[in-house]
Chain A
Amino acid sequence: MRRAGLAIALLAVTLCVRAQQRPAFTRSAGVVAAALPSEVLQQASVKKQLGSGLTTTFLVAARQRDRGTITGARLEVRYDLWDEVWLVKRVEFDGKTERQRFASAEALEKWWRTPVRLFASDADRVLLQVELSVLPFSAAEEDDARAWITKAGGVGTAGGGGLVDALIGTTISAKPITSYRWNVDLALR
């Protein structure tokens, strides 16, 4: 009985932790953005990769289940061992690119929590599936781009530009360190 109670408690804790690990969504000027959970950066395998001195790529793919469209964004983080700064890059769904450098892990976490713009929508309700893949190394590779371009002709996603498809296309040849998937019923009124 005690064991069963402990198991239920552990399950509750697990569910609680998992519940915290959900992105928070906002809409501004018709653009839906997601603030990614900070727990992702704390996961052991992700922390290990972030400390490798090589780039860690975070790929966010948002699939609107009712419309079948896929959009996304890409975040890249690299710790420069000699300058001791975090070099970050964010490419959002419309191709808007931002690069920054941070001197502390706190600043990195603050940047991480800044909502990343995923797609434009005027709908009151969106059924969304969001997948976050954590990839080792930079996603910049000509082969990946070429693979995407081959693919892009037939994708035809509404609301997603060509560059956004490239963000998703890069998953083709990368082996993720870990990944997350969330199913969200977004009420955007």
Chain B
Amino acid sequence: MIRKLLLLLLVALPLSAEDPPFFIERIEVRNHHRVSPDVVVAESLLHEGRAYSEPELRDAARRLSRLPFLLSVDFSLEKGTERGRYVLVLAINETKPFFYALDLVPYLEDDEGNVDVDYRDRPASSGGDSFGFGFRWFVGRRGVVHLGAQATREDRAFTREYAAVSAGYTQYDLFGTRAFATLNLKQPIEGLGAGLLSPQVVIGMPLTTKQTLTLAYDETRFAPEGEDDSFPCDCEDGVGQRIVSARWSYNTTNEPFVPTQGTVLNVTPNYLFADGVDNRVVNNRIVESGPFHARAYGLEVGATRYHELSERNSIWGDLRGEWARIDRESAVSERSYANTATSASVGLGYVFSLWTREERAGGDNRFEVTARYTNKSNRESDAFHGYDDDDAAQVAWSWIRRSSFGTLRLGVGYAW
């Protein structure tokens, strides 16, 4: 231990001490066409009129490289107005206003001789597994309007999966704090039938260049399902869910969607309220129907490490854990319960790049092989979506293509 500390002093201190800070009198964003320069500066967390060391500039470069609307950014200095002062030049390579993130890797499941197809492959602690597409416009100095469609496939014990069309606005550099806020209005179109316009608010607060706290309020109202004229129920609350979450994340990765280097740590406590309709079915007939109310609170943690072995080869490994306590009261007999659901998962991946580093300045083109083992317990939340209580193993092969339009993942997996 002492030896390690001595080595730390030998390696870190002398090198850090020689890095001169650069006094940045101005930050200039170049090659911008659609992206607002103010948003880029705000997201870098750098301020004009302050001195920064090279490691601080490198952290800022990494943070910018993770933005979904930038493909790459180059940092350079130019002389300022006085000796010792510099202009920091950020030369950006933008993505297109039309964007997509399509993760299409169906899993074939051998269910007692029947092969089913399922898209669920990632636990909620990985940030959810959804896909979407749409348009993004920068408005004003710090605003972004978006319009699109999304599919939420969060593999939680207590949330529903659905697809929705959405429109929203994001304000960056909120009150000059470098925080951002997004208001998103969703209209569910699939899952539990046509829904009602539902709000989602996300506030992100960068704590450091590597750490972000994200607060989210996500309400989704669905159309009531399963009503039967012979058993009308008092379902004034309708069908919906309301999730409040706070996510702390530590991120040092080099790209937002297909990183090859760095670490991601997430810790997300969350709280859910859900309303819906329960039906008791006998011989394919609903014999009893009534509303249910559920409350759940939980914690999701995740850690992923990406490591580049060589120019074309990289590997990753992750560990996930989820815990949730669900209290459910139902008007239908035998449908009330209180239980605890847990899930633990370990994943490994190997990625081969079809492109060289020089070619990757404009995107990415990779093959990926993944393996995952998940152990779930007590996920008897059939009111949400029916999960087996079994252990699950998955393998998948996919092709990943990232361009200035977005990221596409195509492949196939097998689960057993």
Contacts and interface: CB of A to CB of B under 8 A. Distances in A.
Interface of A: 45, 48, 51-55, 81-82, 136-142, 145-146, 148-149, 152-153, 162-163, 166, 171-179, 181
Contact of B358 (A82, A136, A178): A178
Given A146-B8, A172-B307, A178-B357, A138 B78 contact: no
Given A140-B18, A149-B11, A152-B7, A175 B254 contact: yes
Interface string B133-163: 0000000000000000000000000000000
19 contacts: A48-B74, A52-B75, A53-B77, A54-B77, A55-B54, A81-B86, A137-B54, A137-B55, A140-B19, A140-B55, A142-B8, A142-B55, A145-B7, A145-B15, A149-B7, A152-B7, A171-B308, A178-B357, A179-B311
B33 interface: no
Given A54-B75, A162-B7, A142 B54 contact: no
A137 B58 CA distance: 6
B8 A145 contact: yes
Contacts of A153: 4
A55 B76 CA distance: 10
B78 A173 contact: no
Contacts of B7: 145, 149, 152, 162, 166
Contact of A176 (B8, B18, B357): B357
A81 B358 contact: no
Contacts of B254: 175
Nearest to B65: A175
B261 A51 contact: no
Contacts, number: 94
A163 B254 CA distance: 26
A142 B16 contact: yes
A139 B16 CA distance: 9
Interface in B38-63: 54-55, 57-58, 61
Interface string B1-25: 0001001101110011011000000
Nearest to A133: B311
Given A82-B83, A176-B357, A166 B11 contact: yes
A27 to B, nearest CB: 27
B304 interface: no
Contacts of B12: 140-142, 145-146
Contacts of A179: 311, 357
A82 B86 CA distance: 9
Contacts of B308: 171
A54 B357 contact: no
B79 interface: yes
Nearest to A179: B311
Contacts of A176: 311, 357
Contact of A54 (B16, B57, B252): B57
Interface residues of B, number: 34
A53 B83 contact: no
A82 B79 contact: yes
B1 to A, nearest CB: 10
Contacts of A173: 252, 261-262
Interface in B78-127: 78-79, 83-84, 86
Given A149-B11, A166-B11, A140 B54 contact: yes
Nearest to B263: A173
Contacts of B16: 140-142
Contacts of B78: 53, 81
B261 A175 contact: yes
A141 B57 CA distance: 12
Highest count of chain B CB atoms <10 Å: which of A45, A149, A163, A166 = A149
A52 B88 CA distance: 10
Interface string B355-390: 001100000000000000000000000000000000
A184 B7 CA distance: 32
A137 B61 contact: yes
Contacts of B4: 149, 152-153
A157 to B, nearest CB: 15
Interface in B290-309: 307-308
B151 to A, nearest CB: 31
B108 to A, nearest CB: 36
Q: Which 3 A-B pairs give the minimum distances between C-beta atoms?
A: A140-B15, A53-B77, A52-B76
Contacts of B311: 176, 179, 181
B76 A53 contact: yes
A137 B22 CA distance: 13
A144 to B, nearest CB: 8
A51 B76 CA distance: 8
A87 B2 CA distance: 34
A140 B10 CA distance: 12
A181 B309 CA distance: 13
